[in-house]
């Protein structure tokens, strides 16, 4: 799955085959990588620890989780106290320009929770300025990975900005915080990019790890965090990373949405960024469509994440829930994804609202409907100016295939060169893993200067 390693660290990469195999069943935009321990640890839902072990195992199986996932939740709780929180605190004054670096420091990145495997790259944690959808200057964070693999392709070594899939809402879920713990499930994608010779920057998104609420799936916030991460990386003074560096953007699920939003926002928000192409995996470009798809499903807890972002934007959502719904909503705002999935999977949403309507029916309320429409990617007047690959499986059980296909159709209608790839693996989980080699092959072709063949004629 990963591209060949450079000769700099052959022993560590040989060890990686076994350890990375542990992650083959993991979700790039949902379930997290398994911890090496087998203990259940603290139960993330009420009453779970009181159940007999056989009933615990049954409940976990029904919800697509394992005891290793619970052990990872414990690791995230420990992360709160082990990470230097001062780094993530917003200073009294921010740089004048978006992308301006507030602070940076050397960081550690492990591919596995046993901390045996380090990628073939140096890691630097950064805080940089961005601007949110309220036009407020904010501090956000991310990680820059400088590849030590040889670059043998034509032209300068590119910078790839990788937007993470769904992590959760709590500050401890931020990818830059998890890298030192070996619990960042994007490690498979990051290692593939690094071994291919790309330098990488991975943003945490606004409010994830830093002050304020994480504005989950807010189109503007995510686009700005991604593009300003590129600007921030270019200001660190790293060899081969500057304003002239060619850039590509990649991401799956939430990361696919962030990548798509960044690609169509770049011409106006960051025209100086040398964006050459984008790989967009399973983008939730239409949140209403996705909300209907996940309502009362295994991933119904994601609805609380979207509600939290809407509430942060001034849309009253929490008061539409009953007492139990509000309890679950509040818990979700400080949880990582495994805890949310385990707590809220398959709960009928009509039992959580004040008036008995389902979550999907709530989406029709005028204020919430307007907010969700503002987050739609591919609206008239917004489209990328570079070739884009959209990769999606028809059998996606989280983000409906229609979301990706309709986005491709909209961009095609605007004259964008879109390559639409239908992944063969069923489920959001499986397709995310199939997408990694697809993404690497795609980038290789674009940076070799091979023209992209458009799929627009058949969409």
With pLDDT > 90 as the criterion, what percentage of the chain qualifies? 63
What pLDDT digit, counting tens, does each position of 347-404 carry?
888 999 999 999 989 888 999 999 999 999 999 899 999 999 999 999 999 999 999 9
Ranges 127-136, 214-223, 337-346: which has the least confidence:
337-346
**What does the pLDDT look like over 29-53, one tens digit per residue?**
333 333 333 333 444 455 666 777 7
Mean pLDDT of 88-115: 90
457: DSSP letter: G
The string of pLDDT tens digits covering residues 307-331 is 999 999 999 999 999 999 899 999 9
**pLDDT at residue 118 above 90?**
no
Q: What's the pLDDT at 28? A: 31
Mean pLDDT across 272-287:
97
Q: Is 14 exposed, middle or buried (0-12, 13-18, 19+ CB in 10 A)?
A: exposed
Task: Name the H helices within 249-364.
Answer: 254-269, 287-294, 302-312, 323-332, 337-344, 359-362
Residue 33 has a pLDDT of 34
pLDDT value of residue 69? 65
* Residue 7: DSSP 8-state: T
pLDDT of res. 37: 33
- Residues with Cβ within 8 Å of residue 450, at least 6 apart in sequence: none
- Residues 299, 15: Cα–Cα separation, whole Å: 34
Confidence of residue 74 (pLDDT cuts 50, 70, 90): low
CA–CA gap between residue 173 and residue 305 (Å, rounded): 13
Tell the residue number behind the tokens 């909300």, with chain if given. 291
For residues 221 and 403, what is the distance between their CA atoms, to the nearest angstrom? Answer: 20
Q: Between residues 299 and 231, which one has the greater pLDDT?
A: 231
Which tokens sit at 126? 């950064």
Whether 296 has a pLDDT exceeding 60, the answer reads yes
Q: Give the model's pLDDT for residue 333.
A: 92
Segment 139-182, tens digit of pLDDT: 999 999 999 999 988 899 999 999 999 999 999 899 998 887 77
pTM exceeds 0.75, yes or no: yes
Query: Among 82-86, 122-126, 174-178, which is the least confidently predicted range?
Result: 82-86
Average pLDDT over the chain reads 84
DSSP β-bridge partners for residue 421: 391
- 3-state secondary structure at position 321: strand
Which residue ranges form the domains of the chain, and what is each CATH number?
100-286+376-458 (3.40.50.1820), 288-373 (1.10.260)
d(CA 192, CA 201): 14
Cβ atoms of residues 376 and 287 within 8 Å: yes
For tokens 């309507």, the residue is 357
Q: What is the tens place of the pLDDT at every residue in 406-446?
A: 999 999 999 999 999 999 899 998 899 999 999 999 999 99
* Exposed / middle / buried, residue 415 (Cβ in 10 Å: 0-12, 13-18, 19+): exposed
Q: Is the pLDDT of residue 103 over 90?
A: yes
Handedness of CA 72, 73, 76, 77 (dihedral sign): negative
Q: Write the pLDDT tens digit of every residue in 21-31.
A: 333 333 333 33
pLDDT tier at 70 (50, 70, 90 boundaries)? Answer: low
**Residue 118 vs residue 270, higher pLDDT:** 270
For the chain, the residue count is: 459
In angstroms, the CA 334 to CA 305 distance is 10
């Amino acid at each position: 799955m990963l591209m060949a390693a450079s000769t700099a660290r052959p022993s560590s990469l040989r060890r990686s085959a076994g350890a990375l195999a542990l992650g083959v069943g993991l979700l790039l935009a949902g379930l997290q990588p398994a911890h090496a321990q087998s203990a259940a640890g603290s139960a993330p839902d009420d009453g779970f620890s009181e159940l007999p072990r056989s009933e615990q195992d049954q409940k976990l199986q029904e919800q697509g989780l394992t005891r290793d996932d619970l052990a990872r939740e414990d690791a995230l709780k420990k992360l709160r106290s082990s990470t230097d929180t001062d780094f993530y605190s917003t200073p009294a004054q921010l740089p004048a320009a978006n992308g301006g670096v507030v602070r940076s420091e050397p960081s550690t990145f492990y591919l596995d929770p046993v901390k045996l495997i380090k990628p073939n790259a140096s890691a630097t944690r950064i805080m940089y300025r961005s601007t949110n959808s309220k036009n407020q200057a904010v501090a956000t964070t991310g990680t820059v990975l400088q590849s030590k693999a040889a670059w043998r392709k034509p032209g300068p070594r590119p910078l790839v900005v990788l937007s993470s899939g769904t992590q959760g809402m709590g500050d401890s879920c931020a990818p830059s915080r998890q890298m030192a713990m070996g619990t960042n499930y994007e490690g498979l994608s990051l290692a593939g990019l690094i071994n291919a010779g790309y330098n990488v920057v991975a943003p945490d998104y606004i409010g994830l790890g830093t002050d304020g609420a994480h504005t989950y799936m807010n189109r503007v916030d995510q686009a700005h965090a991604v593009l300003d991460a590129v600007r921030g990386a270019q200001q660190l003074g790293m060899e081969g990373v500057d304003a002239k560096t060619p850039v590509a953007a990649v991401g799956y699920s939430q990361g696919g949405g962030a990548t798509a939003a960044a690609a169509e926002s770049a011409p106006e928000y960051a025209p100086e960024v040398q964006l050459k192409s984008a790989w967009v995996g399973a983008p939730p470009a239409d949140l209403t469509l996705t909300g209907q798809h996940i309502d009362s499903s295994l991933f119904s807890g994601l609805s609380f994440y979207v509600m939290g972002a809407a509430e942060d934007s001034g849309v009253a959502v929490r008061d539409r829930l009953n007492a139990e719904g509000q309890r679950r909503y509040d818990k979700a705002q400080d949880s990582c994804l495994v805890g949310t999935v385990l707590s809220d999977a398959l709960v009928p949403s009509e039992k959580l609202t004040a008036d008995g309507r389902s979550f999907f029916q709530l989406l029709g309320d005028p204020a919430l409907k307007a907010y969700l429409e503002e987050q739609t990617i591919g609206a008239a007047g917004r489209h990328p100016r570079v070739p884009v690959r959209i990769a999606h499986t028809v059998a996606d059980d989280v983000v409906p295939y229609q979301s990706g296909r309709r986005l491709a159709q909209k961009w095609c209608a605007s004259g964008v060169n879109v390559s639409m790839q239908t992944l063969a693996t069923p489920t959001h989980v499986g397709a995310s893993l199939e997408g990694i080699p697809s993404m690497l092959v795609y980038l290789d072709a674009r940076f070799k200067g091979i023209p992209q063949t458009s799929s627009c004629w058949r969409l």
